[in-house]
Structure formats: structure tokens, C-alpha cells
Chain A
Amino acid sequence: AQTVTQSQPEMSVQEAETVTLSCTYDTSESDYYLFWYKQPPSRQMILVIRQEAYKQQNATENRFSVNFQKAAKSFSLKISDSQLGDAAMYFCAYINYGGSQGNLIFGKGTKLSVKP
């Protein structure tokens, strides 16, 4: 069975600085997708970034980028120029491409605080 591990329950970053959130996963599949979701205190989970496993190029969305290391099964999220609005729970998630009808597997989450 696939698993997702986020080893940092909490992280803190100074406004305008850069922070990296870690995620590792375990799977025997070769074709899958990885996601980072953000859950602000208002509770709605919002997609931050998505990575297809077959793509070697790391995904980037504005200030958010990932470091995808397929062999190491690592998928970290880097937030550059951190803003107060980035404070939230961040969840790493995995899904198989084939076979699954949509079963996202989540890590436990990392709570990110941003200090002014």
C-alpha cells in the first residue's frame, strides 16, 4: 500500500524568507501524481501545485516550487518570499494514475507559521 510521510509537524518562517516543507512517499507504482494542498484556517483545501511522476521537470507555480526526486521518493515544497497569507496546514498527497478511481493518499500535514 502507498504511504505518504510528512516528518515536520510544524514549521516557521520569517516573512519574505524561503521555507522548504518535506514529503516522502512509498509506492511500487511507476505512474502517479503528487500534490501539495494548502488548508488555511478557513478550512478549504486549495491545490498549491501538482507534479506528474513521468515529468522530470519540477513543477513551479509563482512562489511555489517542488523538488521532485523520483528515485528517492521525495517531493518537497519550497515557498519563496513567504507571505503572511501562506500560513496554513500543508498536505502532501499521492494518487496512482492507473487503477485508482480517485483515492488521494495524504500525509499528516505540516503547520506553517509565518512571522512578520
Chain B
Amino acid sequence: EPEVTQTPSHQVTQMGQEVILRCVPISNHLYFYWYRQILGQKVEFLVSFYNNEISEKSEIFDDQFSVERPDGSNFTLKIRSTKLEDSAMYFCASSEGRGGTDTQYFGPGTRLTVL
């Protein structure tokens, strides 16, 4: 069964450094998402992406964040200058159709630790 994959599983970085989290969505899916989960808190929506542009973003997704689909398979989340409060589990998800009608399938997540 097709799955969303994410790399790395765990990323440790120093405050102020740039990180890129990578995701490979399910191959026939057209909509892509990033969510994050700070330890002990709710899973929160960050951004959705369709047709090579951002469809929707939350208040969390400020200028420090960017997303890109650099090729036909990868979907990346970049944090330009990490802060301590960026430490969280980051989940990528994809759906075949629009997220309101089609189920979003999640990857296993990347745990980001900012020191």
C-alpha cells in the first residue's frame, strides 16, 4: 500500500540554523500539507500546497517557513532560522483531492530538536 515517507526521522540542530524537512507524498496525490505537534500539544496545521503554490497557511507559518516541490516527488519544508520553540514533530500529509473531500494520509513524522 502506498505510504507517505519523511526524512530524516530525527533532526537535531542549533538555534539559528536552517533545516529542510523532506517528504515524499503518495505518487498520485495532488494536495500536500505540513502539520506540527509540539510535545504534549495538539497537532496543528501549518500549510497546504496545490498546483505548485500555497493554498492556505496558518498563523504559525510565518516568514521563517517556506515550502517547495523541487521535483515530481519531493515536498519540502524549510525553516530558515530555527528557534527553540520550533522543536516539535513535523508531519507531512497528502491527499488525492482537496482535503475537505479526500482523506489526508500522514507520514511518520520528523522530530526536530532545536538546541
Contacts and interface: CB of A to CB of B under 8 A. Distances in A.
Interface residues of B, number: 29
Nearest to A44: B108
Nearest to A108: B42
Contacts of B55: 101-102
Interface in A84-110: 91, 93, 95-109
A25 interface: no
Contacts of B56: 100-103
Contacts of A108: 41-42
Interface in A61-116: 91, 93, 95-109
Contacts of A98: 100
Contact of B106 (A44, A99, A100, A109): A44
Report, as a range, how many residues of chain A touch the other chain.
Answer: 20 to 34
B106 A101 contact: no
Nearest to A4: B42
A42 B45 contact: no
The list of the 3 closest CB pairs from A to B, nearest first, reads A102-B99, A101-B55, A45-B106
17 contacts: A35-B103, A37-B106, A43-B89, A44-B3, A45-B43, A46-B106, A47-B105, A93-B43, A95-B100, A101-B55, A101-B56, A101-B98, A101-B100, A102-B31, A103-B48, A104-B104, A107-B42
Interface of A: 32-33, 35, 37, 42-47, 50, 91, 93, 95-109
Given A45-B91, A98-B100, A105-B45, 15 more contacts: A33-B100, A42-B108, A45-B106, A46-B106, A93-B43, A96-B100, A100-B56, A100-B99, A101-B56, A103-B45, A103-B48, A103-B56, A103-B58, A104-B104, A106-B43
